[in-house]
Structure 1
Amino acid sequence: MCVSILSRVPLPSSIMSGLSTGPMLPPPSVDQPFIYVSALEGGNIHIPCDLVVDGGPQGESISCPSLAFSLRHSETKSWVVFDLGIRRDLEGYTPLAQERIKAMGFTPVVNQTVAESLVKGGVSLDQVENIIVSHLHWDHIGDHEPFTKATFVVGEGSRELLTTGYPVNPDSFFSSTALPLERTRFLSPSDFNLPIGPFPLALDYFGDGSMYIIDAPGHIEGHINILARTSSDGAWILLGGDSAHDYRLITGEKEVAHSVDLSGRVRCMHGNKEEAVENIARIRSLLGIPRVQVLIAHDSKWYEENKGSAFLPGVIPPLAL
């Protein structure tokens, strides 16, 4: 049964002993700024089990959220959003994306868009200064049109996907209008100018150590994550986007699914499996560091357990000492 994808039990001692702490995260400074992180509803999809973990049962799928996040700076009160979830009107996606959504049985349901989640949580959309998009897949780009003042931030690898997207290329999975190009900042390789913890390439977004954008290769071009402090005294959260689609891949209990069908087509959730596995290993090393949470976009178990207070206007609580 695929329901095991929801299981999150204490890790066996054999796995815990194998977790490498790697480079530690930097300690807080005096009066360290941090980020209030809140989850946002962004729709739900069904993901085939055999696409997620090696040996997953064929023909079964699991209902997963497509989480987005509100990020608010503790001092400046600057409001940032990470990802935009799923569009309610699937006709807004490219013809190829619509075809893929149907063929794969993703059956998206959007009871509340990210924009609606923000408003319900008491945030005017005009308050959102920046929207950081982990990558350009359809279940993360949502609908940018309600956000008329925000600057969008994406990895440099997203540029070509946008400029060569539909309708420039009628067979593209990506849309050239997925983001407002005139208000989009593409992060260049030089922007990722420092290492932090296990990650060699990071950007100190606010310049005060409160939040870092992490280069997270392997899934698709331009994929980025967020590493944010959630308290002034040493708590952190890693928002992993689609670095993994099952938490057991983070812990090392399962391996990334990868197969080739009869037509020779590779079936894998990641464009570059080797880079994705390396990135997952870096994330796994965070599990050996006290007070660090790891949250991926399609974490069904976390979603079921935290539907209330962790969602705006509530806050995901920092791990205690």
Structure 2
Amino acid sequence: MASTGLMLPPPSVDQPFMHVSALEGGNIRILCDLVVDGNSQGESISCPSLAFSLQHSKTKSWAVFDLGIRRDLEGYTPLSQERIKAMKFDPVVNQTVAESLVKGGVYPHQIETVIISHLHWDHIGDHEPFTRATFVVGEGCRELLTSGYPIDPNSLFSSTALPHERTKFLPLSDFSVPIGPFPLALDFFGDGSMYVIDAPGHIGGHINILARTSSDGAWILLGGDSAHDYRLITGEKEVAHSIDSSGRVWCMHGDKDKAVENIARIRSLLGIPRVQVLIAHDSKWYEENKGSAAFLPGTIPPLAA
């Protein structure tokens, strides 16, 4: 793709960055016609539910982005369990995020920050092993938690999905700087090493991470559920939607128009040198990289100049 003319901030002298590693977080099966237009009805694909560890190059502090899938599905709300069966997601968790960390030589109690992209079941995992971490979510998650199960027995979201006393909600006012194609971002550590990005469209509070992966200009965008198929990022496919008998539009995103706008912003990153994009359910990337040094204790290699 040709350069879009967009720029990301150049590195400063002795620029801090993040060592980013993939973490196993379980796998699910997704019906393709729920995700992209133009697929044969009933076709499905096995997808990862990727999480990521991020270690600051200077302070050596550890953060994790998303917690994947719980092994014990009984830990989800009754409605979530019903939805998992009805949608034939068929989750398989050979390794939880906590187990992936330990396999990579990092213990969950060492993690200082857990950033959750959003509160869907295949991203919230199990917070209990992370006994010291502050949990960071978008402000839009607050209402989903406070009105969640069992307060509302028919909620998809659990009011205990995150530890209340250690959860920080990011108000939109915190997203006070633009970066590249994104109008609303938060310089998380205040040193340009990692930005939390407001990523509207999927569900309330959905956020992404844009992190430097080298001191000399490489970046990675961790896109959560901004898209469920990488072909939506490249523009090869369009977001699937359908209209039911009552005229209601059904889509994997709560607000399809905002989701498409956000996907277009992410797509524009592909025109910037040394920027890579990863989404949580990228089956192609996973098949090419599972078991590789991209997973902890290794790191995802920065794109070369």
Paired residue type of 2:298: G
Whole-angstrom CA distance in 2 between matches of 1:127 and 1:174: 27
1:214 Cα offset (Å): 0.1
Residue-by-residue CA offset, 1:56-111 (whole Å, 9 max, x unaligned): 22111100000000000000001000000000000000000000000000000000
Whole-angstrom CA distance in 1 between matches of 2:4 and 2:169: 31
1:126 Cα offset (Å): 1.4
Equivalence for 1:45: 28
Equivalence for 1:185: 168
Of residues 294, 297, 300 in structure 2, which corresponds to 1:313?
297
Aligned length: 304
1:125 Cα offset (Å): 1.3
Of residues 220, 225, 234 in structure 2, which corresponds to 1:237?
220
Of residues 70, 76, 87 in structure 1, which corresponds to 2:53?
70
Of residues 196, 200, 206 in structure 2, which corresponds to 1:217?
200
1:77-96 maps to which residues of 2 (within 5 A)? 77-96=60-79
Of residues 122, 125, 128 in structure 1, which corresponds to 2:105?
122
1:266 Cα offset (Å): 3.5
Paired residue type of 1:274: D
8 A contact 1:40–1:311 mirrored in 2: yes
* Structure 2 unmatched runs, 5+: none
> Are 1:151 and 2:148 an aligned pair?
no
> Are 1:175 and 2:158 an aligned pair?
yes
Whole-angstrom CA distance in 1 between matches of 2:40 and 2:119: 28
Equivalence for 1:285: 268
Identity of aligned residues (%): 85
Equivalence for 2:255: 272
Whole-angstrom CA distance in 2 between matches of 1:251 and 1:193: 28
Whole-angstrom CA distance in 1 between matches of 2:278 and 2:233: 10
Whole-angstrom CA distance in 2 between matches of 1:68 and 1:254: 24
Taking only aligned residues, the RMSD between alpha carbons, in angstroms, comes to 1.0
Of residues 272, 282, 288 in structure 2, which corresponds to 1:299?
282
Q: Secondary structure at the match of 1:47?
A: strand
Q: Secondary structure at the match of 2:112?
A: strand
* Structure 1 unmatched runs, 5+: 1-15
Runs of 4+ in structure 1 over 4 Å off = none
8 A contact 1:239–1:296 mirrored in 2: yes
8 A contact 1:51–1:267 mirrored in 2: no
1:23 Cα offset (Å): 2.8
8 A contact 1:217–1:275 mirrored in 2: yes
Whole-angstrom CA distance in 2 between matches of 1:106 and 1:165: 22
When residues 22 and 105 of structure 1 are mapped into structure 2, their CA distance, relative to the original with a 3 A threshold, is farther
Q: Secondary structure at the match of 1:36?
A: strand
8 A contact 1:22–1:198 mirrored in 2: no
1:192-211 maps to which residues of 2 (within 5 A)? 192-211=175-194
Whole-angstrom CA distance in 1 between matches of 2:107 and 2:47: 27
8 A contact 2:195–2:209 mirrored in 1: yes
Whole-angstrom CA distance in 1 between matches of 2:189 and 2:269: 22
TM-score (norm 1): 0.93
Residue-by-residue CA offset, 1:205-245 (whole Å, 9 max, x unaligned): 01000000000000000000000000000000000000000
8 A contact 2:109–2:129 mirrored in 1: no
Whole-angstrom CA distance in 1 between matches of 2:245 and 2:32: 19
Whole-angstrom CA distance in 1 between matches of 2:4 and 2:117: 25
8 A contact 1:22–1:285 mirrored in 2: no
Equivalence for 1:54: 37
Q: Secondary structure at the match of 1:231?
A: coil
